[in-house]
Chains A and B, each alone.
Chain A
Amino acid sequence: MLGDAYNYLTDWSNWTGDDGMLTLLTEQLLLTITALAITMLIGLPIALYLGHIGRGGFLAINISNIGRAIPTFAVLVLLSVGFVGTDELGPYGRAGLATLIALVLFALPPIITNGYVGIREVDRDTVEASTGMGMRGRQVFWRVELPLAMPVIMTGVRLALVQVWATATIAALVAGPGLGNVIVSGFYNSNYGKGLAGAFVVAVVAFVLEVLTIGAERLVAPAHQRRNTRVEAPRRTVSATV
């Protein structure tokens, strides 16, 4: 089986063409980036504002726990068989819209929770000191809270990215786009070498994305935290399970 997977991966013809792995990879990366961007545009303003005014914490923190209990696969199935299922969505292929909606739904919890927690866990003395120095609410947010909360917010983005990548792969089970199709068609047709080859590619890209976001996390960390080898997220932040 390992040999079959190796042969599949080293046969260039499996990478090229309309159904080739390069096309599927591009499709899935495009879908992942779009979903992550939409999620950040919707989720971050809400989370950061709630954190700034210190309201809605119960919801912001528990939304992640609720998100975990909902099976990704079931939501994908419900959406694709339901009203958004038949749409063809440009470069995202068949079931593209259903997949995109599911991706955004499952990426929102980590972004909202970490955004909120990040802002709330900024040292209150620091916030008070900046108010005392005459900063207005808006200035406190942009110049004090946001920079200090950046590592935690970025951890949320990283968790969301992992979640989106995984969900986008599962989408192949409901005829969605992307690399999951290699795994699904391999396993459903007893062509296990092909399925395994797809799984390897998905796992490797997941790892690369993780490493890239960890790098981004370090870049945005405030100077005094940058010396640490890795930014430690506070205990209350959640990790996604995919």
Chain B
Amino acid sequence: MTVLSQAGIAAAAADDTTCYARTTNDWICAAYWKDYQSELVDATTQHLQITVAAVVLGLVIAVPMAVIARRYVPLKGGILGLSTALYTIPSIALFPILVLFTGITMTTVIIGLALYTLTILVRNTLTGLEAVPDDVRESATGLGYGRTRLLLKIEFPLALPVIMAGLRVATVSTVALTTVGVIVSYGGLGQLLADGVQNDFKAEIFAASVLCVALALALDVVLLGMQWLLTPWVRARGA
């Protein structure tokens, strides 16, 4: 499989005058960032794609699970148990097992990462829904709200801060975990890390590590902004 070949050839071809040349091999090297810009952009884009798809998929699965656990209490233990049991399997073992079903594709990584987000997303969504005060729920029922409208108009909005907190944690850890996707050739910035360790290419390792942490921080800020926009009542109360 050609997991590492692409960037490896480019690394070998680097001439000797730059700070990323074989003989110099600096960790921090501006020339590397400039010369390999397209490679860095591609890896970051793939990383972002995988992370966002996984978190969205995780949320789409987690919310119904939490709603079911809330409505049918006997199922609660089972649902929570299932969603936390998944994290026991190390990612580098889970991806190969999923290859059985989805092959060496980006989908394999996305599904694997989505399964890991369930641990935190199901728990937080459920906690958020359970924290809605009973008298609020009763007033809404008294006003003629049906079950579905109650859920969508009252319970979800009130649970939003807790759900968003879970979403932030899930997103940040998914960014970090995406790198392990390198085992099935879709690791985003992890591809650069694997290539860097293979070729002892320090500038590449450093750049990929920095970009990975920066991506996690950036997504966290975006989600924080989203939460601010979605919950105007919290701001009004604070002011």
Contact = CB atoms under 8 A, between A and B. Distances in A.
Interface of A: 1-2, 65, 68-74, 77-78, 80-81, 162, 165-166, 169-170, 172-175, 180, 183-184, 186-190, 192, 195-196, 198-200, 202-203, 206-207, 210, 235, 239-242
A239 B68 CA distance: 22
Most chain B CB atoms below 10 A, which of A175, A203, A207: A203
Contact of B92 (A71, A78, A170): A170
Q: Which label, helix, strand, loop or mixed, suits the secondary structure of the B interface?
A: helix
Contact of B180 (A70, A170, A195): A170
B1 A187 contact: yes
A43 B95 CA distance: 31
B183 interface: yes
Nearest to A64: B169
A210 B88 contact: yes
B91 A189 contact: no
Contacts of B87: 162, 239-242
A221 B175 CA distance: 36
8 contacts: A74-B212, A78-B206, A78-B209, A169-B92, A173-B180, A190-B1, A239-B119, A241-B177
Interface of B: 1, 3, 84, 87-97, 99-100, 116, 119-120, 127, 169, 172-173, 175-177, 179-180, 182-184, 190, 193-194, 196-197, 200, 202, 205-206, 208-209, 212-213, 216-217, 220
B193 A187 contact: no
Contacts, number: 147
A82 B195 CA distance: 15
A190 B91 CA distance: 19
Most chain B CB atoms below 10 A, which of A69, A172, A196, A240: A69
Given A78-B209, A173-B182, 13 more contacts: A70-B213, A74-B209, A77-B197, A169-B92, A173-B183, A175-B197, A187-B183, A192-B96, A202-B93, A206-B88, A206-B90, A241-B116, A241-B173
A68 B93 contact: no
Contacts of A72: 176, 179-180
A225 B88 CA distance: 24
Most chain A CB atoms below 10 A, which of B93, B94, B182, B213: B93
B127 to A, nearest CB: 6
Contacts of B200: 81
A239 B108 CA distance: 23
A192 to B, nearest CB: 7
B99 A192 contact: yes
Contacts of A210: 88
B205 A183 contact: no
Contacts of A188: 1, 3
Contact of A81 (B180, B202, B213): B202
Nearest to B96: A199
A215 to B, nearest CB: 15
Contacts of A203: 89-90, 93-94, 97
Contacts of A180: 92
A190 B200 CA distance: 23
